[in-house]
Amino acid sequence: MLDIETREYDVVVVGAGGAGLRAAIEASGRGSRVAVLTKSLLGKAHTVMAEGGIAASFGNLDPYDGWETHFYDTMKSGHFINNYRMVELYTKEAPERVLELESWGAVFDRTEDGKIMQRPFGAHSFRRLAHVGDRTGKELIRTLQQKVVTQNVDIFAEVTTTRIFLDRQGRVAGLFAYHRDDGHFVLFKTRAIILATGGWGRMYKPTSNSWECTGDGAAMAFRVGAELQDMEMVQFHPTGMVWPPGVRGILVTEGVRGEGGLLYNAEGERFMLRYDPEKKELSSRDVVARSIYREVKAGRGTPHGGAWLDITHKGPEYIKRKLPGMYEQFKKLADVDITKERFEVAPTVHYTMGGLRVHPELAATNVPGLYAAGETACGLHGANRLGGNSLGDLLVFGRRAGMAAHEYVQNLASLPEVDEAEVRDEMRRVLRPFEVEGGENPYLIHEALQTIMSTYAGIERSGPELEKGLAELEELKARAERMSVDGPLHFNPGWHTVFEVQSMLLLAEAIFRGALERKESRGAHWRTDYPEELPEYGRVNFVQTYEDGRYHIRPEPVPEMPPELARLFEAGVAPGVLRARQAQNGREETK
Partner 1 sequence: MAETVTLWVYRGDQHGGEEKPYEVPLMPGMVVLDAVHWIQAHLAPDLAVRWNCKAAHCGSCSAEVNGRPRLLCKTRLDEFVKEGVPVHVRPMKTFPIIKDLVTDVSWNYRVMRQIPPFQPREPAPFTLYQRDVDRVQEFRRCIECFLCQDVCHVLREHHEQEHYFGPRFMARLAELEMHPMDAGDRVGFIRETAGVGWCNITHCCAEVCPEAIEITNNAIIPLKERVADRYWDPIRGLFRRFQKTAP
Binding site for ligand FAD (CB under 6 A): 14-20, 37-40, 45-47, 49-53, 136-137, 160-161, 196-198, 208-209, 212-213, 216-217, 251, 350-351, 374-376, 387-391, 394
| Bridge partner list, 129 | 55, 119
| Of residues 149 and 273, the one with the C-beta less far from partner 1 | 149
Only segment of 80-88, 242-250, 308-316, 383-391 that touches partner 1 (CB under 8 A): 242-250
Partner whose binding site includes residue 441, from ligand FAD, partner 1, none (CB under 5 to 8 Å by kind): partner 1
How far apart CA 360 and CA 378 sit, in angstroms, is 9
Interface with partner 1 (CB under 8 A), residue from 2, 107, 298, 566: 107
Residue from 84, 126, 176, 495 touching partner 1 (CB under 8 A): that is 495
CB-nearer residue toward ligand FAD: 265 or 389: 389
- Nearer Cβ to ligand FAD (45/231): 45
Compute the least distance from the CB of residue 581 to partner 1, in Å. 28
> Residues binding partner 1: what is the number (CB under 8 A)?
70
Using DSSP, state whether 368 is helix, strand or coil.
coil
The single residue of 202, 257, 513, 522 carrying the catalytic annotation is 257
Interaction residues for partner 1, span 36-65 (CB under 8 A): 40-46, 48-49
Stretch in the footprint of partner 1 (CB under 8 A) among 219-227, 415-423, 493-501, 513-521: 493-501
Helix residue ranges, H only, 149-284: 216-223, 255-258, 272-275
CB 197 → ligand FAD: shortest distance, Å? 4
2 binds partner 1 (CB under 8 A): no
257 belongs to the catalytic site:
yes
Q: Considering the rule CB under 8 A, would residue 325 count as an interface residue with partner 1?
A: yes
Q: Which does 102 bind (CB under 5 to 8 A by kind): partner 1, ligand FAD, none?
A: partner 1
Provide, rounded to whole angstroms, the least separation between the CB of residue 88 and partner 1: 23
Q: Is 454 exposed, middle or buried (0-12, 13-18, 19+ CB in 10 A)?
A: middle
In whole angstroms, how close is the CB of 444 to ligand FAD at the nearest point?
21
Site for partner 1 in 405-444 (CB under 8 A): 441-444
Interface with partner 1, residue 250, by CB under 8 A: yes
237 belongs to the catalytic site: yes
Of residues 20, 29, 10, the one with CA closest to residue 401: 20
The helices-and-strands tally (H runs, E runs) of the chain is: 17, 19
| Residue 344 interacting with partner 1 (CB under 8 A) | no
Min. distance of Cβ 399 from ligand FAD in angstroms?
12
**Helical ranges in 335-419 per DSSP H:** 389-410
Which of 110, 109, 112, 131 has the alpha carbon at shortest distance from 120? 131
Establish how many alpha carbons lie within 13 A of residue 215's alpha carbon, considering only the half-sphere containing its beta carbon. 30
**Contact indicator for 495, 504 with CB cutoff of 8 Å:** no
Selected range binding partner 1 among 63-71, 142-150, 465-473, 578-586, rule: CB under 8 A: 142-150
Residue 122: contacted member of partner 1, ligand FAD, none (CB under 5 to 8 Å, by partner type): none
Helices within 48-203 (DSSP H only): 67-77, 84-103, 136-148
Q: Count Cα neighbours of 129 within 13 Å in the Cβ-side half-sphere.
A: 29
Cα–Cα distance for residue pair 430/424, rounded to 1 Å: 10
* Residue 20 φ then ψ, to 5°: -65, -45
Helix (H) or strand (E) holding 555: strand 550-557
User: Given the complex with ligand FAD, which of 385 and 527 has the nearer CB atom?
Assistant: 385
> What does 491 bind: ligand FAD, partner 1, none (CB cut-off 5 to 8 Å by kind)?
partner 1
Q: Which of 160, 190, 229, 329 binds partner 1 (CB under 8 A)?
A: 329
Q: Residue 364 forms beta bridges with which residues? A: 371
Least Cβ distance, residue 406 to ligand FAD (angstroms): 19
Residues whose CB falls within 8 Å of the CB of residue 526, separated by 6 or more in sequence, listed in order = 286, 290, 459, 460, 461
d(CA 417, CA 524): 42
Instruction: List phi, psi (to 5°) of 254.
Output: -60, -20
Phi-psi region of 357 (alpha: psi -120 to 50; beta: other; left: phi over 0): beta
Closest of 378, 395, 376, 380 to residue 22, by C-alpha: 395
Active-site annotation, residues: 237, 257
Site of interaction with partner 1 (CB under 8 A) = 40-46, 48-49, 99-100, 102-105, 107, 109-110, 113-116, 132-133, 135, 137-139, 142, 146-147, 149-150, 155, 157, 181-182, 210-212, 243-247, 250-251, 325, 328-329, 332-335, 441-444, 447, 485-488, 490-495, 497
